[in-house]
Structure formats: structure tokens, C-alpha cells
Amino acid sequence: MRAAVLHGTRDLRLEERPEPVPRPGQVVVQVTSVGMCGSDTHYYEHGRIGPHVVAAPLILGHEASGTITAVGPGVSPDRIGQRVSVEPGVPDLTCPQCLAGRYNLCPGMVFFATPPVDGALAERVAVHGAFAHPVPDQLSDDAAALLEPLSVGIWACRKGHVTAGTRVLITGAGPIGLVAVQAALAFGATDVIVSDINPSRLALATELGATQVLDARESSLADLDHAPGVLLECSGNARATLDGLAVLDRAGRAVLVGMGVDELALPVPLLQERELEVTGTFRYAGTWPTAIALVSSGRVDLDRLVTGSFALADSAAALTAGRDDPQAVKVVVHPQT
């Protein structure tokens, strides 16, 4: 089968790879759609993300959907033909974090497209059967792939305790910020304020239901009429994070989702006087059933985020499409084309 393999910085090659053989409990998924993520692009352009170095050829892609074509020992053959969305990380299941329901914090996690684990930019992949989630017909292939970034938004809302009537501030309107907007609305937020510096993304945020958008170059969060109770930080920008914290209501919660800030100059007196809670997210746990329900019920529109699609042979172009075009939001690769 064919796969797009990263050999080094900006060196992505279409190669033949052996067909995946499912181990016990696994299924083979014929991949129909793979969303490109900023981390994929970062590996492509820099060959590493922090401590994670691409030391050997690596298949990228961790937002994937497809159809089950084979099953390993212990998996019902009835699953062959099932359309699935792939949850890209499989934990060891028995460590204390896993047993406590926090499997995203499992030290033994094996995660797609994180060196040396291959990802999904291939015609077929083998995955744990319990992490290949069946999706209903009304979900498109692309939407099924994008349940992964939606999961990030859902997890942020859970960490932020977003509920009916919550005022949510979202800093950053990139792909994660935009799924966070939709997730926050689905969790019942009645005010969803979004700040960014890209007007086309702010316009899309409004289209997706944001109740107020702010161009951070022109407006200040300090001018908000009402203090938000939750900050979902999706920009990875220190200034935006601090500005967001500064306007949070008493007992507010800040969830740092965006990556890129190594050290944040946390204002401790503010944290204390308002008893703010600050946390960060690391992937997600138990989000797929919710994500499927939200998209199936029409509460979240993932197809609207897709601004480009590419064949497997054009994966390199897909990886950089988002970088150069301010209109771009989410690019997908269709490995069967």
C-alpha cells in the first residue's frame, strides 16, 4: 500500500509500505480522510516538536477516518465494512491514570504520528478496535476525521466546566479555537466571545455562532461588558493568555489549550484574589461518543471548517496549504485518491 513518509525536513515521499496486519484486538482501517494539524506541519518543516525528534522515517497524520477492512483475533468480523473515526492514541489501560479514567495522561500512551509511531497518511492503518469508533451515515468522511480536533474542543470545555449560561472567552480562532466555539455553544454557553487578529477567521467564528468577536489589534478585552467565567486559550500567545486571565470573573477557570508559550508570567495576586483556576489540556479522554453525538445532532458543523482537500500524493502541498493562505482553516487528505 502507499503511504506519505517524512524522511527529513521538507522531505515527504510517497512510498510503498507493507499492508498492516492487525494484532489481537486490532482492526485495519482503509483511510478515507486525514485532517492536517499544525503539529504535522511543524514536523514537516522542522523535523521535531520540542523533545520529539523525527529520527527515522515517519508517517504523519493523526486525524483520520475510514472503513474497517479486516479484523484481528478477538474482534468480531461483523465490524468489517463499518465506517469509523480513529482515536489516534492508545493507552496501556492498566496504569493508575488509565484506571482512574484519565487515560490521556497514561505514561505508556502510543500516539499516531509521534516519533517513532507512524500515523495515518497511508492507504490503510491498523488500530485498536476499541479506539476505532463507529460513526453514523450522516457524518461525512471529513467530519469523521475531524472528530479528533473537535475532541480537543470538547475536552477544553470539560476542563473549563462550561455549562448552560456560561460566558466563555476564546482567545485564538484557528482550527482549535473554531471547534472550541462550537463545543462551547454545544455545552450551553450563551456568550462566546472570540478574539484573534485574522478578520476572516473572526468572520467564520461569527458564522459558527460566536456572540461577539474582537480584533485583538484594535479592541481590548478590558472593554468587555461582562466578565467571562471561562477562558479557553487557543492561541498559544502569552499576551492573549494574560489579557484573557485579567478579565476573568471571580472563581473563573482558564484552560490553556494552545501550545507555544514556554513560561507565562502568571499574576499570582490576581489568581488568589479571584481564586482563578488555571489548567492545561493534554489531548482528551472519552470524548468520541460526545463528539459523534454533537455532530450527528447538527450542533457542530465540521465540514464547514474544511477549506481544501488533497490526494495522498499531494500530502506535502496539504501540509503547507494552511500556512500561506489566511482564508485556510482545515485541510484534509483523502488517501484513497
Which residues would be at the binding site for a copy of itself (CB under 8 A)? Answer: 50, 93-105, 107, 128, 130, 154, 157-159, 163-165, 183, 186-188, 190-191, 211, 250-251, 256, 259, 261-269, 271-282, 285-286, 289-290, 293-294, 296-297, 299
Nearest approach in angstroms of CB 294 to a copy of itself is 6
For a copy of itself, give the closer residue by CB, 78 or 263. 263
For a copy of itself, give the closer residue by CB, 18 or 101. 101
For a copy of itself, give the closer residue by CB, 55 or 130. 130
For a copy of itself, give the closer residue by CB, 32 or 241. 241
Hey, how many other C-beta atoms are within 10 angstroms of the C-beta on 93?
12
Nearest approach in angstroms of CB 133 to a copy of itself is 11
Residues 6 or more apart whose CB falls under 8 angstroms from that of 211 comprise 190, 191, 192, 193
For a copy of itself, give the closer residue by CB, 220 or 279. 279
For a copy of itself, give the closer residue by CB, 95 or 203. 95
Nearest approach in angstroms of CB 266 to a copy of itself is 4
Nearest approach in angstroms of CB 192 to a copy of itself is 10
Q: Determine the Cα–Cα distance for residues 248 and 271; give it in Å rounded to an integer.
A: 10
How far, CA to CA in Å, does 16 sit from each of 2, 5, 20, 70, 112? 5, 10, 12, 19, 19
How far, CA to CA in Å, does 231 sit from each of 91, 169, 189, 254, 298? 29, 5, 12, 5, 25
Nearest approach in angstroms of CB 138 to a copy of itself is 13
DSSP states of 299-325: S--SGGGEEEEEEGGGHHHHHHHHHH-
Region for residue 234 given its phi and psi (left: phi exceeds 0; alpha: psi -120 to 50; beta: otherwise): alpha
Q: Determine the Cα–Cα distance for residues 177 and 8; give it in Å rounded to an integer.
A: 30
Nearest approach in angstroms of CB 276 to a copy of itself is 7
Helix (H) or strand (E) holding 268: helix 268-273
For a copy of itself, give the closer residue by CB, 26 or 315. 26
Nearest approach in angstroms of CB 272 to a copy of itself is 3
